[in-house]
Structure 1
C-alpha cells in the first residue's frame, strides 16, 4: 500500500454517522480490536481526545555531535516530538508555534460554531503529524435530483509544516464518499492561521468568512439543480474527454495512461451508480471527474486517504471541481451558471 497502512487507518481514524453513510472504504472488522472505530451516530468528543489526541506535541532542543567530543546544541532550532512515543514530527525555527490538536481542532471549533459538536470524522496521518476533525449536521440532505450530501466544517492542522491550521467549509457526497467544493461557483470559504507566535483564531472574523455549516445546504443544492438542468449529449461528453484527457498521437506510456483514464471515466459515466444516474448532465460530468480522482486515479508518494484529506483542506478539491466546469463550459460553448 503506501505510508498509511490499513492497520493505521483502522486504529487512527474515527468515522461517525455510519447509519447515514455506511462504513469507510478502509474499514476492516478484523483490524478493529476491542474498540470499534466506526460509530452509528456522532463520535463522542471524549473519544476523539482519548483515542487520537491523548498525547502532547513537545518542543525539544536539537543537538549534533561535536567533533571535539560531546554534543552541541543547534541554535534557534527546535524539534516537535510526540510525548507518547518520541516520534519526531518536524524540525523548525524557534518562531514556530505548535497548535495543539485538542485546543485548535476541538475547543476552537466548538467556540466557532457556538454549539455542541457533532463530529463526523477525525483522524491522524503521517505518524500523527497531521490531524483533522470534521463537524457535520446530523442528517443527510437529499436534493430533488437525488443527490445526497452532508455539509460539514473541516478543521485540520499539522506538526510537520505541511499545513497551516485551516477551517474550511466542504460537502461530502454520500453516494461515493467524496469531498466536493462547497460552492461550485466560487472559492470555498476558509480561514488559515499560521504556526507563528501570538497566532490566534479571531472568532468573529472566522464566523463571517465561513458563514458556517448550515448555509451550505441551500448553496450546494442550488448548484446541483443548475448543473442537472444542463444537458450533455454523448457527442459533447466525448469532446469533453478530448479536452480533459487529450490522446497523444504517438504510441507509448503517455498514450496508454490516457487510454486507461478515458476507459475508466467511460465506465463511470455509463455504468457506475456513483455517476450514471446523472449521465447526460453537467452534474454527471462533475461527479465523474471527482469520483475518478478520489477513488480511481493512481496516487504516488501518499496514501489515498491522506491525499484526499489534504486536497480538501488546501483547496485542491475546489480547483478540481471548478476546473471541470471551466473545461465543460468551453466544450458546450456556453457559460454554466455554477461556473460563471
Structure 2
C-alpha cells in the first residue's frame, strides 16, 4: 500500500519510526521546503469535460463552478473543489513561521506532506516548557496544518508534547480546542491568525496548571477502570457496542497506565489522573492499530485519534474537578 506520508523533514530525535529527512537546527525555510517536500505549488484549472456528438470526437466544455487542483511539479491531480475555494499553498504554511522563528524564538521541529500533497503541516516549538513532579517535562508547540481536498480547514493549534514519550496533546480549555480555524471559503490571513493565536498561547499557564492538578489527583483502581471504559467504550455518553468488544485497546491502556508506559513510573503519572491521560495519548500516538505509521500520525493529529485524546482530556479534567 502506498504511504500517506509523501515527504517529511525534522530536527532532533527521529520521530515516527525513522520517517523523514533529518536537518541540522535553525535551517532557512527554503531548506525546510525542499527537504519536507513542500517546494511546489497548488495550481488550478476549470473542470472540463468532453461532450460527445454522433460521428465526431465531440467538443470540450467547461464547468465554471468547479475547479481541479493539481501539483505544479508532477501535474498530479489533488482534488476537485468549488469555484470559490481559497487555496493555501505549502510554502504559506512554512512562511507562517518566518517571523516567529527569526524574532520570537520559535524553532521548527517537523514539517511534511501527507496523501501525496493533499494535506501538509509544520510543527514548531514555542519555547514554553513546564516540569511536573519527577521532572515530567511538557513542552509547548504550534501546529499549523491544512488540506486542499476539503478534509481540513487551515488550523493553527497550540499543542503540547510530553518529552519522555513524545506524546502529543492539543491544548484545550473549557472543553474546547484553543486552535484557530480558517475555512477554505475565506482567505487565509497569517497575521490575523497569529493575533488570535496569541490569546490561545497565553492560555499555556492555565492549561499547565490544570495538568498539575491532574498530577496531584490520586486515582483508585475502580476509578481508573471506569475512566478507560468511559473514554474508549462510550461516545456522547452512550455505550458503543463495537468499541465494547475492543478488549485489546482497554487492556493496552491499562498496561500503559500500570507501569508499561513510558514515564508511567514518574511521580506525576504514577497512580494519578495525569497518568490516565498519558496512557491514552501514548496508546493513540504509538500503540493504536493502524495500517502503517503514516495513518497513525494522521489519525493522532487530525482524525479519530485526535478526538479520542480530546475525550480523554475532558474525562480527566472532570475526574479532577
TM range (shorter): 0.7 to 0.9
Distance 1:123 1:107, change over 3 A: same
> Contact 1:132/1:155 (CA < 8 Å) preserved in 2?
yes
- Structure 1 distance, partners of 2:289, 2:88, is 32
- Structure 1 distance, partners of 2:85, 2:146, is 13
- Where do residues 1-340 of structure 1 align in structure 2 (5 Å cutoff)? 3-4=2-3, 8=5, 12-16=7-11, 18=12, 22-27=13-18, 37-39=21-23, 41-51=25-35, 52-68=37-53, 69-103=58-92, 105-111=93-99, 115=104, 117-137=106-126, 141-183=130-172, 185-196=174-185, 199-201=187-189, 203=191, 206-211=194-199, 213=201, 215=202, 217-245=204-232, 257-274=245-262, 276-277=264-265, 278-299=269-290, 303-311=295-303, 316=307, 319-325=310-316, 329=319, 336-337=320-321
Task: Give SS of 2:185's match.
Answer: coil
Task: Give SS of 1:66's match.
Answer: strand
Q: 1:129-180: per-residue Cα shift (whole Å, max 9, x none)? A: 1110112135864333432222011111111111111111111122222211
TM-score (norm 1): 0.77
- Structure 2 distance, partners of 1:97, 1:244, is 36
Quote how far apart the aligned CAs of 1:48 are.
1.7
Task: Give SS of 1:221's match.
Answer: helix
**If each structure's strand is expressed as a fraction of its own residues, which one has the higher value?**
2
Structure 1: state its 5+ residue gaps: 248-252, 330-335
Task: Give SS of 1:67's match.
Answer: strand
Structure 2: state its 5+ residue gaps: 235-240
- Structure 2 distance, partners of 1:192, 1:239, is 33
Distance 1:163 1:256, change over 3 A: closer
Quote how far apart the aligned CAs of 1:126 are.
0.8
Task: Give SS of 1:122's match.
Answer: strand
Provide the aligned length of Structure 1 versus Structure 2: 305
Distance 1:208 1:76, change over 3 A: closer
Quote how far apart the aligned CAs of 1:306 are.
1.6
Q: RMSD in angstroms over aligned alpha carbons?
A: 3.2
